[in-house]
Amino acid sequence: MAFLSLNDTEIADKLKDGQITICVIGIGRIGLPTALVFAQAGAKVIGADISDIIVENINNGITHIDEPGIEEFLKNAVSSGNFRASTDLQASITEADVIIICVPTPVDINKNPDYSALMAVCRDLVKGLKKGSLIIIESTIAPGVVEEIIVSFIEENTNFTIGKDLGIVSCPERADPGKIFECLKTVPRIVGGIDERSNNLAGALYKAAMGVKIVKVSNPRTANAVKLTENIFRDVNIALINELAILYEKIGINIIETIGAATTKWNFVPHYPGPGVGGPCLPANPYYLIQVANRVGYIPYLVRLAREINDRMPDKIVHLILEALNGIGKPIKGSKVAILGITYKSGVKDVQYTPAERIIDTLKNLDTQITCYDPLFKNEIVFGLPIEESVEVAIQDADAIVFCTAHEEFKQLNLENLSKLASLPAVIVDTRNIFNLNKAKNAGFAYRGLGVPVS
Ligand SMILES: NC(=O)c1ccc[n+]([C@@H]2O[C@H](COP(=O)([O-])OP(=O)(O)OC[C@H]3O[C@@H](n4cnc5c(N)ncnc54)[C@H](O)[C@@H]3O)[C@@H](O)[C@H]2O)c1
Out of 204, 225, 246, pick the residue that ends a domain. Answer: 225
Separation of CA 203 and ligand 1 centre (Å): 22
Separation of CA 306 and ligand 1 centre (Å): 25
Sign of CA dihedral 438, 440, 442, 445: negative
Instruction: Let me know: does 194 contact 220? Beta carbons within 8 Å.
Output: yes
- Ligand 1 environment, Cβ below 6 A: 25-31, 49-51, 54, 89, 102-105, 117, 120-121, 139-140, 173, 175, 177, 280-281
Q: Is 94 contained in some domain?
A: yes
220 in the same domain as 313: no
Give the pLDDT band of residue 317 (cuts 50, 70, 90). Answer: very high
B/e letters for 345-381, b = 16+ CB within 10 Å, e = fewer, are: bbbbbbbbbbbbbbbbebbeebebebbbbbbbbeeee
Q: pLDDT by residue (tens digit) across 230-260?
A: 999 999 999 999 999 999 999 999 999 999 9
Which numbered atom of ligand 1 lies nearest the CA of 118? 31
Residues of the domain holding 372: 305-449
CATH code where residue 110 lies? 3.40.50.720
Out of 225, 250, 282, pick the residue that ends a domain. Answer: 225
- Substitution candidate for ligand 1 out of 32, 46, 49 with most atoms within 8 A of CB: 49
Q: Is 168 contained in some domain?
A: yes
Give the pLDDT band of residue 395 (cuts 50, 70, 90). Answer: very high
- The count of domains in the chain is 2
Q: Is 265 a catalytic residue?
A: no
311 in the same domain as 193: no
221 in the same domain as 94: yes
Q: pLDDT by residue (tens digit) across 160-192?
A: 999 999 999 999 999 999 999 999 999 999 999
309 in the same domain as 220: no
Which numbered atom of ligand 1 lies nearest the CA of 28? 21
Separation of CA 103 and ligand 1 centre (Å): 4
Q: Is 280 contained in some domain?
A: no
Q: Is 240 contained in some domain?
A: no
Q: Is 440 contained in some domain?
A: yes
The C-alpha R_g of the chain, in whole angstroms, comes to 24
Residue 454, pLDDT > 90, answer: no
Report the mean per-residue pLDDT for the chain. Answer: 96
Q: What is the pTM of this model?
A: 0.95
Q: Is 78 contained in some domain?
A: yes
Identify the residue whose C-alpha is closest to ligand 1 atom 37.
Answer: 51
203 in the same domain as 312: no
Q: pLDDT by residue (tens digit) across 22-75?
A: 999 999 999 999 999 999 999 999 999 999 999 999 999 999 998 999 999 999
Separation of CA 105 and ligand 1 centre (Å): 7
Segment 407-433 shows an average pLDDT of: 97
199 in the same domain as 311: no
Q: Is 420 a catalytic residue?
A: no
Q: Is 136 contained in some domain?
A: yes
315 in the same domain as 419: yes
* Beta-strand runs (E) in 230-353: 336-340
Which numbered atom of ligand 1 lies nearest the CA of 30? 16
Out of 195, 225, 255, pick the residue that ends a domain. Answer: 225
Identify the active-site residue in 102, 171, 281, 372: 281
For the chain, the helix, strand and coil percentages under 3-state DSSP, each to the nearest 5 = 45, 15, 40
**pLDDT value of position 175:** 94
Q: Is 161 contained in some domain?
A: yes
